């Protein structure tokens, strides 16, 4: 099954684009795209291969979302993604950051749908819609125009 492939440009350095994605995630990730749905949650990417990706609610409850596979600032971040399921059902997200003058081209390849069997088509479709809802928040955060 074809991966989801997305490509767009942000008007900032690739260092900033990587930092916003990987270390300032809590500033732009909408709580509606989380396990708990709680306002005020934090999102953490532990900055190393094998690191956890998780949300922590204001009450301290943690929900695992995935595992870092590659941490190569400011060029690339890849991770196993299983936000609403078991690790065995994880797909892979690979995010590249390429400098283009004063801007950065961000490329996302989300793959691994075939391992999900009969659920693959529906989960791929839903994830494509989720990316469409999520990325405007990231774009505003890169531009420094995000508001609550």
Is there a domain that residue 41 lies in? yes
The Cα–Cα gap between 16 and 10 comes to 10
Percent of the chain with pLDDT over 70: 98
Looking up residue 89, the CATH number of its domain turns out to be 3.30.530.20
Q: Which domain holds residue 104?
A: 4-143
Q: Give the closest residue to 21 by CA, choosing from 29, 30, 13.
A: 29
Predicted TM-score (pTM) of this structure: 0.94
> Which neighbouring-strand residues pair with 75?
none
Express each pLDDT in 16-64 by its tens digit.
999 999 999 999 999 999 999 999 999 999 999 999 999 999 999 999 9
**Cβ-proximal residues to 77 (8 Å cutoff; 6+ apart), any chain:** 18, 21, 22, 45, 68, 70, 71, 94, 95
Angle at 45 between CA 16 and CA 109, to 5 degrees: 70
Residue 12 pLDDT > 80: yes
Is there a domain that residue 35 lies in? yes
The Cα–Cα gap between 94 and 5 comes to 10
Domains identified in the chain, total number: 1
Is there a domain that residue 148 lies in? no
């Amino acid at each position: 099954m074809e991966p989801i492939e997305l490509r767009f440009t942000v008007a900032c350095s690739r260092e900033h684009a990587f930092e916003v994605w990987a270390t300032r995630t809590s500033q732009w990730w909408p709580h509606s795209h989380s396990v708990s749905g709680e306002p005020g949650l934090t999102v953490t990417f532990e900055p190393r291969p094998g690191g956890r990706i998780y949300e922590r609610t204001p009450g301290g409850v943690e929900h695992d979302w995935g595992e870092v596979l590659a941490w190569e600032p400011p060029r690339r971040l890849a991770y196993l993604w299983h936000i609403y399921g078991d690790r065995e059902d994880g797909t892979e997200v690979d995010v590249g950051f390429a400098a283009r003058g004063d801007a950065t081209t961000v490329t996302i390849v989300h793959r691994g749908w075939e391992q999900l069997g009969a659920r693959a088509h529906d989960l791929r479709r839903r994830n494509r819609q989720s990316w469409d809802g999520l990325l405007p928040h990231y774009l505003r955060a890169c531009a420094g125009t995000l508001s609550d």
